Chain A
Amino acid sequence: MKQMRVLSILVENNAGTLTRVAGLFARRGYNIDTLTVSETKDPSFSRITLTASLNDLELNQLVSQTAKLEEVISIEELFETNSVMREILLVKVSVSDDCRSKLIEITDVYKGVVVDLSPDSMIIELTGKPQKIDAFIRVIDNYNIVNICRTGVTALQRGKGD
């Protein structure tokens, strides 16, 4: 059964490394849903965090294919139970005077922040687990959403490790 997987891939920080990883996914016929990349504490390495919808066999195949890449140091699946996962949402909503305060109220409940306020629109920033972001979007779905931008998941394993 396909389910959303979060993969954390430690790679050498070279030009082209991301292309190799992304290219491998594409070549083997899998779609990357979200992707974040950043340098680690040691700038010679980067961490790629990506999510993709895969069944168990597909997951094993992709993990072992990715692990073979010369510039990949390690790849592991992360789970909610052992990791902190966060995502940032920016959402622009078209608002009139009569609904603005309601929307701010909802944003407060989700501990979001209004980062831009114009006479007829506002931008809300929200950080949290992907499920929280999903829930927030569902709640404000009735409002006039102009655009949505999500960073995709970034994640680290809890405890010592790494």
Chain B
Amino acid sequence: MNIEYNFAFFDEGSKREIRRATLKAIAIPGYQVPFASREMPIARGWGTGGLQLTLSLVGKEDSLKVIDQGSDESVNAVNIKKLIVLTTGIGVTDETAEATIIQSRHRIPETPLQEDQILVLQVPIPEPLRYYEPSEYETKKLHAEHEYSGAWLMLFEQIVNYGAMSTGADHPVMVHSRYVMAPSPIPRFDNPKLNQNNALILLGAGREKKVYAVPPYTKVASLDFEDYPFRVETFQDKCCRLCGAKDVFLDELLNDITGEASYQCNDTSYCLQRMNGKSKG
């Protein structure tokens, strides 16, 4: 059976609704705009928010890159790419610089983004205050009243318990000095990249039915305290075992037998590009 899908899977009404929400999200940086979130052929919580944003954006001229935890070839990325390619016929690329739309789960690529690119982030839990307030109506009120003491208190408790802020990923940020925003579970290492970025960054949460945005050149500050400033993960004295890169986000790989730890670039296309460059040179 050959089913003819619409271009970019969606009917035009669904795209219109997402487009309206996206334009409002850009006008109010960091504010979560509710949207209808259609049923998708992948399960909610597996990137449907990002996927819906990408489908509302994509055109025949686009070149798409999808990454999952830094990898172009993991299951989530491959399946999302397949769906988009099957319903649009556009080309895909692994190279960050060549893509016009980059959909990503949990990373901002190491290669700096350009002005004409759009980064779409998949978000599981868009509400930075959900950790201590389960009610959606209450968190909406807290955002409305600019009442973020709970967010700071959460970080303060971590300092009391562990002597440092212990957010592994999804460290909350303040956008345009107004809204506290969950940056999707990107590592702290990527938080500074949100600040004054060249590219438009769109965030979509399919299960939670929210779209939000960080326009280019927008002030994004990670929450911290004067005496406990925000710190990114450090990889001091370590480098990628394949390409030798320093100052990038590294994965720690443990050898089961020897117990030895080695490090490798988390962004696989960045690593590959460096290695290809080396072999050419």
A binds B: no
**A interface with B by C-beta (< 8 Å):** none
